[in-house]
Structure 1
């Protein structure tokens, strides 16, 4: 199977998983309308989706470093969709938390191994990894449209229909996994485990920068639908449009980030992106009317230009722990932003949404400051080896 076809299938599969990360925030207005949840209550739902995911991501990353687990891609995809599909069936708040937490575990299981396989298939191409990341962005962008189309017409009782993308995604990844298995059987992939010294200090700084980015993105994605109504005077459609713009802008940002990294180094591209994002977030918080959507789009693009670059930077800072690096940069530090959502919700309940969202302007400043201290890592050198799986050997991932 060609690299382009494999990356395309992985990208679409990535979309089918990350649609459920976006679905949590997309369901927030419907939980408020149908169940009269407060800002703090809906923040708790986002928190539930994040907590188990945050805990599970490093565990799955460590397992991926020890054993190749390609089978986990279809399994985790179905699990991520099943939790969201069940979240609308019960009026019980604790059960809703359990179901979105189950979805979070599925999403957590997917990302470390998918990042390993995507890096293997991409052969170290920044552009290819950018396209893989675009799939996740498109999934986020499709979430509000999917949720609105299903739930707005019949209420939360129709949420089981939301499992359909997961079923499709679990099937789409199978050709890529079969191709990798075939190459392994022929001895064609027993190559390229990157070796080199781990730069743990730089990896910690990178991870902190991604955490600050995550706080901005998760904070906005949780409340942007409700905030858009206040800033534009619109209704549900205005909120759905704002959330779609926030997610869709990420697709452009990821592609642009990969292209820019082929011309300049990744650290420089990420540094400038975060600096420009400061102004974009400020405009999102303070500018009313139609221009509000322009700043939402700029914020989205600015936050996503460095997104795929985080993954490859993390893998190059930790060349002996590529699964862990992928789990942290693609999963843990992204989901951990949900831990701050209840605080934002509590401040909004006590004051206003604008007051609660204003501190988010500082987050890209902190990411920019951290990137000013980061070096561009050298490409790790590959050596031929093979890794053990549950039933034999699997070619180790091409780390670079």
Structure 2
């Protein structure tokens, strides 16, 4: 199987699993409308999807550094889909949280192993990794549309329809797993040669955490904020779609810009732009909101794929852990701040509660100022299987 084919299939699979990260936020307005949940209650759902994911993700990263577990891709994809599919069927808030948490565990299990396999399939190409990241961003972008379509069919009772992306993602990853197994290259390329820079990796991780707080906070409440600003449910769905869709373009643009100016430099400028963009989202009224949402999405997503490869280059002997942290754990941690935003919104206004998010990309920028541009580690050559013809 050609490299581009493998990356394409992995990218589509990544989109299928990340639908379920985006689906939680997309379901928030429907839980508010049908079950009269307040801001703090619905933000607890985002917390349920993020909390277990945050704790479980390092475990899966460490396991994939020690053993290859490609079977995690189809299994975790199905787990993520089943959790969301069941979330709307019970009127019990406790069961809803449990199903959303189940989906979060599936998402957590997927990312470390998928990042390792994507690096293997990409043969170390940063641009290929950018396309892999873009697949996940497209999944985020499509989530509001899929949720809206499912809700139009029958409200929260129609959430079982949302299992369809999981079924597709589980099937599409199988040819890639078989191709990589036939090449007998997994163990050899999973451990690039290079020195670990733990200090830089920790600073990078903290930068990604603050980026995650900004993004998850906005994705949780941007639909409600747009509804209040523009006066319709459709306006909220559109704002969430723009926030997610901009990420797909941002990741690809980030890879192109980094080829000329370097990953660290491009990330610094992106976070500076995100500060002004988030301020516009919070304070600028009227339809101009969509322009600032698009700018925010680009500013937060241009560094996204760059951070994945930076983490793997800072921690070359633990790329499963690096991928799990930069692609999964730090993203999930952003959900931990959502209940605080919801509680503040209940006691003040939603605009006031969103205002602190303006500071988050500024903190990410400060950490990026301390980061060096690493040299990508060399990947040891492998002896091809005599039974496998050269590509």
Q: Quickly name the TM-score band, shorter chain normalised.
A: over 0.9
Check if 1:253 corresponds to 2:238: no
Give distance in 1, aligned partners of 2:375 and 2:174: 33
Please, what TM-score do these two structures have when normalized by structure 2? Answer: 0.96
CA apart distance, 1:126: 1.5
> 1:195-228 deviations in whole A, cap 9, x for unaligned?
2221111011000000000000000000000000
Provide the C-alpha distance between the structure 1 equivalents of 2:176 and 2:114, rounded to a whole number of angstroms.
Answer: 11
> What is the SS of the residue equivalent to 1:156?
helix
Aligned to 2:98: 98
SS in 1 for 2:316: coil
Aligned partner of 1:263 in structure 2 is 260
Structure 1: 5+ residue stretches without partners: 387-393, 395-400
SS state at 1:8 partner: helix
Counterpart for residue 388 of structure 2: none
> Is the Cα contact below 8 Å between 2:263 and 2:306 reproduced in 1?
yes
Count of matched residue pairs: 384
Partners of 2:116 and 2:190 within 8 A in 1: no
8 A Cα contact 1:193 1:385, kept in partner: no
Q: Does 1:290 align with 2:287?
A: yes
Compute the displacement of 1:25 (Å). Answer: 0.3
1:127-161 per-residue CA deviation (whole Å, 9 max, x = no partner) reads 11111011111100110100010113311111111
Moved over 2 A (4+): 187-193, 381-386
- Does residue 349 in structure 1 map to residue 324 in structure 2? no
SS at match of 2:353: helix
Q: 1:276-310: CA deviations, max 9, x gaps?
A: 11110000000011110000000001100000011
Distance in 1, Cα, partners of 2:125 & 2:346: 46
Q: Structure 1's 368 and 142: CA in aligned 2 closer, same or farther, altered over 3 A?
A: same
CA contact (8 A) 2:7 2:132 kept: yes
Q: Which residue of 1 aligns with 2:228?
A: 230
Q: Paired residue for 1:211, among 209, 212, 236? A: 209
Q: Which residue of 2 aligns with 1:57?
A: 57
Per-residue CA deviation, residues 318-377 of structure 1 (Å, 9 max, x unaligned), is 111110000000000001000000000000000000000000000000000100000011
Corresponding residue number in structure 2 for 1:183 = 183
Q: Distance in 2 between matches of 1:244 and 1:89?
A: 25
Q: Distance in 2 between matches of 1:195 and 1:210?
A: 25
For residues 192 and 327 of structure 1, the distance between their equivalents in structure 2, rounded to whole angstroms, comes to 14
CA distance in 2, matches of 1:188, 1:247: 32
Equivalents in 2 of 1:194, 1:188: separation in Å?
12
Given that 2:84 and 2:159 are in contact with CA atoms closer than 8 Å, whether structure 1 keeps it comes out as yes
CA contact (8 A) 1:192 1:383 kept: no
Runs of 5+ unmatched residues, structure 2: 386-391
Matched residue of 2:379: which SS?
Answer: strand
Q: Residues of 2 paired with 1:296 and 1:109: CA distance? A: 30
Maintained 8 Å contact 1:215/1:338: yes
Listed one character per residue, the Cα deviations across residues 33-55 of structure 1 (whole Å, up to 9, x for unaligned) are 00100000000000000000000
Offset from partner CA, 1:200-258 (integer Å, 9 cap, x none): 1101100000000000000000000000012223x110000000000000000000011
Cα drift, residue 262 of structure 1:
1.3
Look up the match of 1:379. 376
Secondary structure in structure 2 of the residue aligned to 1:381: coil
The answer for the alignment partner of 1:174 in structure 2 is 174
